[in-house]
Structure formats: C-alpha cells, structure tokens
Chains A and B, each alone.
Chain A
C-alpha cells in the first residue's frame, strides 16, 4: 500500500481526513459483522427456509451497507483515491471477512499519509 501512497497527492486537510478515516473504520467493522450475519442468513435460507430466525436482517443490512459506501466515498475524496480504488474498497464490503482486511490496510495507508502531511 505504501507504493500507492507515493502516487497520490498529499492530504490537503489532515483533520478532516482523520475524522473521515474514523467514520470509515467504524463502518467497515459494522458492515463486516453485518455481512457475516448475512452469510449465516443465506445458509439458513437454504437449510431452514425463507422464514428463518435471521430473515429480517438482509433489509437493514442493505441500508447499513449504503452508509459504508458513503463513508468510503467521504474518505476517498478527502485523501484523493482514484475511482477504481474507491469502487474496489466499496465492493470489498460485499465479501465476507474482506472488509476487515481492507480496513486494516486502509488504516495503515491513511495513518502513514496523515503523519507525513502533519510534519
């Protein structure tokens, strides 16, 4: 990820980007947990049936995922990510466990760039 940071412009407003990073980290963890619940629901859907104990979950998860999209775009625009990178990070929120990994790398990248911007 450090190689990516070199190609991107310095962060213009570190305080605003730091807030955006916190928002993104919180949403990435929530979406990651929500997605695991959704995976369980899908398994239940095909084993127990459509009226399982978690059948209410997909709908609120869709709205939570939308907040994750907002958090990703909010951070992406503030730190100057390219569109493909933003889209990939958004899609990572649809793959079980991947959002935790992505959250880790994004936090490392942005923390490093924030430290550089504040020097």
Chain B
C-alpha cells in the first residue's frame, strides 16, 4: 500500500485532491459565515421591526424573564431613584474600556424598580446625575447577567447581577434591565423641570443568540461532505491500484491464473 501511494501519479493526484479539499472546506466555512450573518440580520430585522411596548405587557416585577422579550424595545414611565446607582467596570464600547452606569428606575404603573443601563462612561467619577423629574424611557430589554466573583470597591459590581440588586434596592424589582436608548419627559410633566436628559453615551441593545440560517448551514455541510468524498475517491483509487499490484506480483507460472470473469476478490 505504501509503495503504491509513493507512485508519482498518486502523489500528484494527492496534491490535486488536497487542493480540492482545502477549497471545499473554505467554501463550507464561507457558507457557515453566511448562515450566521443571515440569521443575525434576520433576528435584528425582526426585533427592530417590533414597535416599543410598555414593559408591563412583557413582564411584571419578580416574574421570570420570558425568552421572547430579549432585545425587545420597551417603554417605561416613572422616576429614577435618588440613590442606589452602581457601576459595572471592564465594559467595552467602540474600542474603549469603561463602566456601565446602572441606575434604579421606579416604574409608575407597578411601583417596582427597574435596572436601567443609562450609559457608558470612561471614568468612575463625575458621572452626570439622572433626570429628577417624571420621564418616559425607551430602551432594549435584556435578562440579568450571571453573578461575578470580582472583588470591587463599594458602588461597583462585576456584572449586572439582579440577585445582588434585589438585596440593595428597596421594594420589588424586575428580572430584567434596560439598555437605555432615549429619555423623554413623560406626558404631562414640565420638560424644563425634569433635569438633563440623555446625558450619557447610550449602549446599543445587543441581539444575542441568533443561531444559524439552516439553508446555508446545509450548503456548508454539503461542501464538507464533498471534501470528504474527494479524499475517499483518492484513497479508493490507490487501494484498487495496490490490490492490482499485489495480484501482478503473484507468479502466473504457478498455474493459479484465474479464468477470465471469475470473481477473484468477491463483491466490493
């Protein structure tokens, strides 16, 4: 077998087959990327095409976070609490490292607290105060993050861990936080009296876990199967040639030459 593989024609064919396999594997990876991009684009399109709804239509305080509510645009009317703001360090926004500013917001309709990611800052000091008046905020809903074990100074936490906030903030809280996109004075409140709005750089709502477009995933799989098939073809041709070499090596003078048409090696 090894001697057969080393024949120039099989080595030459091996080079060709290797090139074909590399090309097919790359084509498969390209389709896998397309599958990912198309699914992400579709998910973003689906989520952003939905109009914002009042938060209480998606979930109430202390209720489990419904998976379908992820990244949905929500509206909530109420006031920021005067105390309880926390910072989450080591966050990235457009290549810069900084802090997420998480401020408690008391939703008027439920009197429960909602964690609002007001924005991104690069320094933990000198953060603009939230608006003091009655406002309506518009943002993307997200479930709380996993707990973090990072040791941090007071007023900071390693992740948006709602189980920590429920112990520090008074009253009931929502099992969610909001990526704030816009603050507006609530209907009926005096725009001049609510305080400065949208003072921080907003963090765009992420669209998570978008999966794959199955059709392009199928194309990717097909390229990889074709690549495997090319390898099989090469191996099979070399094996047949190797068997033929072994047959030729058997001395014909022994009188054991098979009659034409006799199955020598049985069925394949």
Give residues of chain A (37-76) contacting chain B, Cβ–Cβ below 8 Å.
56, 58-59, 62-63, 66, 69-70, 73
Please report the total number of A residues contacting B with Cβ < 8 Å.
22
- Are B222 and A10 in touch, CB under 8 angstroms? no
Report chain B residues within 8 Å CB of A56: 215
Contacts A73-B236, A77-B236 given; indicate if A59 touches B215 (C-beta within 8 A): yes
Contact with B along A72-99 (1 / 0, CB 8 A): 0100011000010010000000000000
Report chain B residues within 8 Å CB of A69: 226, 229
Report chain B residues within 8 Å CB of A118: 261
Contact with B along A1-32 (1 / 0, CB 8 A): 00000000011111110000000000000000
> Does A117 touch B at the CB level, under 8 Å?
yes
Contact with A along B36-68 (1 / 0, CB 8 A): 000000000000000000000000000000000
Contacts A10-B260, A83-B237 given; indicate if A62 touches B222 (C-beta within 8 A): yes
> Does B154 touch A at the CB level, under 8 Å?
no
Contacts A66-B225, A77-B236, A78-B268 given; indicate if A59 touches B218 (C-beta within 8 A): yes
Report chain B residues within 8 Å CB of A13: 263, 266-268
Partner of B261, one of A62, A73, A77, A117: A117
> How far is it, in angstroms, between the C-alpha of A11 and the C-alpha of B265 when the chains are bound?
12
> Does B164 touch A at the CB level, under 8 Å?
no
> How far is it, in angstroms, between the C-alpha of A39 and the C-alpha of B219 when the chains are bound?
17
> How far is it, in angstroms, between the C-alpha of A4 and the C-alpha of B222 when the chains are bound?
32
- Are A66 and B226 in touch, CB under 8 angstroms? yes
> How far is it, in angstroms, between the C-alpha of A24 and the C-alpha of B202 when the chains are bound?
62
Please report the total number of B residues contacting A with Cβ < 8 Å.
21
Least CB distance from A49 to B in Å reads 15
Report chain A residues within 8 Å CB of B129: none
Give residues of chain B (218-259) contacting chain A, Cβ–Cβ below 8 Å.
218-219, 222, 225-226, 229, 232-233, 236-237, 240
Looking at A73, A86, A118, the one whose CB has the most chain B CB atoms below 10 A away is A73
> Does B264 touch A at the CB level, under 8 Å?
yes
Least CB distance from A13 to B in Å reads 5
Least CB distance from B236 to A in Å reads 6
> Does B13 touch A at the CB level, under 8 Å?
yes
Report chain A residues within 8 Å CB of B237: 83
Report chain B residues within 8 Å CB of A73: 229, 232-233, 236
Contacts A69-B229, A83-B13, A83-B233 given; indicate if A62 touches B263 (C-beta within 8 A): no
Least CB distance from B252 to A in Å reads 16
- Are A12 and B263 in touch, CB under 8 angstroms? yes
Q: Which residue of A lies closest to B233 (CB)?
A: A73
Partner of B222, one of A16, A63, A70: A63
Q: Which residue of B lies closest to A78 (CB)?
A: B268
Report chain A residues within 8 Å CB of B13: 83
Q: Which residue of A lies closest to B266 (CB)?
A: A13
Contacts A12-B263, A62-B218, A83-B233 given; indicate if A77 touches B268 (C-beta within 8 A): yes
A66-B229, A83-B237 known, 10 other contacts, Cβ within 8 Å: A12-B261, A14-B261, A16-B267, A16-B268, A56-B215, A62-B218, A73-B229, A73-B232, A83-B233, A117-B261
Q: Which A residues form the contact surface with B (CB < 8 A)?
A: 10-16, 56, 58-59, 62-63, 66, 69-70, 73, 77-78, 83, 86, 117-118
Q: Which B residues form the contact surface with A (CB < 8 A)?
A: 13, 215, 218-219, 222, 225-226, 229, 232-233, 236-237, 240, 260-261, 263-268
